[in-house]
Structure 1
């Protein structure tokens, strides 16, 4: 059994839709999955200024907020975030900034990790957002597993981001092609994690 934590932040719902897809695909694969959201930090005035943002906040209240236990428990971790000026959101970063005790205790070493993102446009900072998250994973001592061009479908239009599954909001809500990309990433992440766990057990 592979333990997978999916930890994400979503404002208007696109990253949430990707996270739900990841949860479903991981469950079908046979993983034990925890879906967790980063706590909202924005004031109500900002949230209420965007109808989709408020709707997503209300629709996802039932999802538990991420905790350090979710990281320690996991064999693999998949992070999701919208891009903000080419960087992860403050909400996800705030959670990451609480991980010092786990990092200092060496409890994040060799976790298998990946990331996915959404931006308004296809060149709106998707790659730099995932690379920025990778900087944290280097410090943790994780095993970073990119999506890569690991399936022929990755050469099709609207897929093809080897860094991690990505969605462009200008194309509308998360659709089938994005879900395919998420599914490919989840299967690769879990496959590598499974192989690593088996190899480590035999070492």
Structure 2
């Protein structure tokens, strides 16, 4: 059983969540996890001005995903930062290249899931996850979220991401906050949950 975790990260927040998702998926026996990042569309000069170059070095070893690879997966878990309540432009451009996969029906019946990050607690985490799922449904995928059996999404004693639609993290206004243990636990839970459902479907 092969699961792809495909993400875009600018400062490393989504990457840390992707690692936790992959860890959770690998905990299911017989699961092979492929960690991939989508191509960057910003120039090196722009990334320097944004102060993102050093952060991106931490995950530069992760291979860039080619859209055709997705057809090899049994499940795909996507990770994206939030941009005004939607997925980021890099992820949108990547998915917009999936026309051949859509036309050939190669993703029909495969499991799809989403996790994300946002700057603030109410910065569009849930709308990003929900609007992302529209693309997965158009591709014929079986959408899986983060069930309430992950009780960490109901905490009230701390600021935390995660919802029934998927795991999420809050980066803070200046990106100073990295994923909390509760958010990483949600990501691991989601990865394992997707793997378990995929295993049942393809058994």
TM-score (norm 1): 0.91
Aligned to 2:171: 169
Task: Point out which structure has higher relative CO (alpha carbons under 8 A, 6+ apart).
Answer: 2
Measured in 2, the distance between the counterparts of 1:21 and 1:175 equals 11
- Structure 1 residue 173, shift from structure 2 partner: 0.9
Q: For residue 77 of structure 1, what is the aligned residue in structure 2?
A: 76
Q: How many angstroms does 1:195 deviate by?
A: 1.1
In the TM superposition, residue 104 of structure 1 has moved relative to its aligned partner by 0.3
* Deviating 4+ runs (over 3 angstroms): none
Q: Deviations over 1:62-99 (max 9, x none)?
A: 21111123211110100000000111011111111111
More helix by share: 1
The question of whether the paired residues in 1 share the 8 Å contact of 2:82 and 2:125 is answered with yes
Map 1:50-199 → 2, pairs under 5 A? 50-51=50-51, 53-157=52-156, 158-170=160-172, 172-198=177-203
Name stretches of at least 5 consecutive residues in structure 2 with no aligned partner: none
RMSD, matched Cα: 1.5
Q: Distance in 2 between matches of 1:99 and 1:50?
A: 29
Paired position in structure 1 for 2:8: 9
Q: Quote the Cα distance in structure 1 between the aligned partners of 2:4 and 2:91.
A: 14
Q: Distance in 2 between matches of 1:43 and 1:81?
A: 19
Superposition TM-score, scaled by structure 2 size? 0.91
Q: Could you say which residue in structure 2 is the equivalent of 1:20?
A: 19
Structure 1: runs of 5+ lacking an equivalent: 199-203
Q: What SS class does the counterpart of residue 39 from structure 1 fall into? A: coil
CA distance in 1, matches of 2:201, 2:9: 30
- The answer (yes or no) to whether the contact 1:6–1:33 under 8 Å persists in 2 is yes
Whole-angstrom distance in 2 between the partners of 1:148 and 1:70: 28
| Displacement after TM superposition at 1:150 (Å) | 2.4
